Amino acid sequence: MNKELLALLNPKSQSLEMSSVSHNSITPEDINLILSYSGLSKEEYLFLLMKFVSVDDHRDDFFDAIKKDYDSDDGSVLDKIINLAIIECFEPKCVFCRGTGFIIVDQGVQDCPHCHEGVFAFTDEIRSYLLGLDNEEYSQQQKLYETIKEKIQNIEISSLAKIGDV
Ligand SMILES: [Zn+2]
């Protein structure tokens, strides 16, 4: 099982259109069969779709799959926490230097101060800012944030292991 097979699941992919005219091609049914043999959980399956097919198309389903394990009196903070954890796990590319790790200043080129080699540096200060929480509010939510992020990271590890991509 490899990334290219997963990409075929995307209805918009060109390979899928081609597969409909060739008897020897892999069909979406084949892929679903392989996935079912891989023993992926729903969360793991959705994670792979986000990672290899499209973050935007599958983010909402993945979000719901993560959220169902938590009850919260304040749904809006929980929503923000889950969304930020997903962003941190999926789109760590620095927005200031567009992932290059360098910015151009009057004196020439210098290392981007917002990231490490183009990977955005998330700090607690940035997380609390993005969540719209002050320091005290953030410290109350920090444990939950770490737990959800770890959960997503564990889904990544287990899903990649199941499709033999590690
Ligand atoms: Zn940067």
- pLDDT by residue for the chain (166 residues), tens only, comes to 566 666 666 555 444 444 444 455 667 777 777 777 788 898 998 998 888 888 888 899 999 999 988 876 666 889 999 999 998 988 678 888 989 999 988 889 999 988 889 988 888 998 999 899 999 999 999 999 999 999 999 999 999 998 876 6
Taking the C-alpha atoms of residue 54 and residue 43, their distance in angstroms, rounded to an integer, is 15
Q: In this structure, which amino acid lies at residue 114?
A: H
The DSSP string of 30-87 is HHHHHHHHHT--HHHHHHHHHHHT-HHHHHHHHHHHHHTT---S-HHHHHHHHHHHHH
97 lies in some domain: yes
Is residue 65 domain-resident?
yes
In a domain, 139, yes or no: yes
Which protein residues have their CB within 5 A of the ion that is ligand 1? Answer: 94, 96-97, 112, 114-115
How many CA atoms lie less than 13 Å away from 97 in the CB half-sphere? Answer: 22
Domain annotation covers residue 64: yes
Prediction pTM value: 0.73
In a domain, 39, yes or no: yes
Angle at 86 between CA 149 and CA 39, to 5 degrees: 80
Domain encompassing residue 57: 27-162
Residue 15 lies in a domain: no
18 in a domain, yes or no?
no
DSSP state of 93: B
Examine residue 74 and state whether it is found in any structural domain, yes or no: yes
Give the amino acid at 44.
E
111 Cα: distance to centroid of ligand 1 (angstroms): 8
Report the domain count for the chain. 1
> What is the whole-number distance in angstroms between the Cα of residue 93 and the centre of ligand 1?
8
